[in-house]
């Protein structure tokens, strides 16, 4: 959790305000948290593409040049089964442009 954590208790439930990054809130390291967040965003883009195009899992597999079980893993959110590299390839095969930026962090790293 971050230093800005706010805890409220209502009806015996404790609500903790998150940092905006669920993976960081779950305790992943900064690097792993960013990796998971990127993969999550890419997987969401692919699921949205499949839904928008009205593709079956079999049709999506052909279009994205992967097997149908891979599409099943994607739609079920099995993030650990996908690397950034494989997701970039699938997004490219979907005709989607992958773009990212690199910038200095606002926090100094020792």
pLDDT at 2: 45
- Is the pLDDT reported for residue 5 higher than 60? no
Share of the chain above pLDDT 90, in %: 62
Within 10 angstroms of residue 17's Cβ, the number of other Cβ atoms is: 13
Give the residue-averaged pLDDT of 31-51. 95
Give the residue-averaged pLDDT of 40-62. 97
Give the residue-averaged pLDDT of 54-79. 97
pTM: 0.78
Instruction: Give every CB contact of residue 9 below 8 A, 6+ residues apart in sequence.
Output: 15
- How far CA 107 is from CA of 22, 48, 55, 103, 104, in Å, comes to 19, 33, 43, 12, 8
């Amino acid at each position: 959790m971050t230093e800005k954590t706010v805890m409220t208790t209502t009806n015996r439930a404790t609500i903790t305000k998150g940092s905006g990054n669920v993976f960081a809130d779950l305790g992943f390291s900064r690097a792993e948290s960013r990796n998971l967040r990127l993969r999550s965003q890419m997987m969401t883009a692919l699921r949205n593409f499949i839904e928008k195009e009205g593709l079956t899992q079999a049709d999506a597999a052909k279009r994205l040049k992967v097997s149908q079980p891979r599409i099943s893993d994607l739609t079920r959110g099995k993030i650990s089964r996908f690397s950034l590299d494989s997701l970039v390839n699938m997004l490219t095969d979907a005709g989607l442009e992958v773009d990212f930026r690199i910038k200095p962090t606002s926090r100094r790293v020792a």
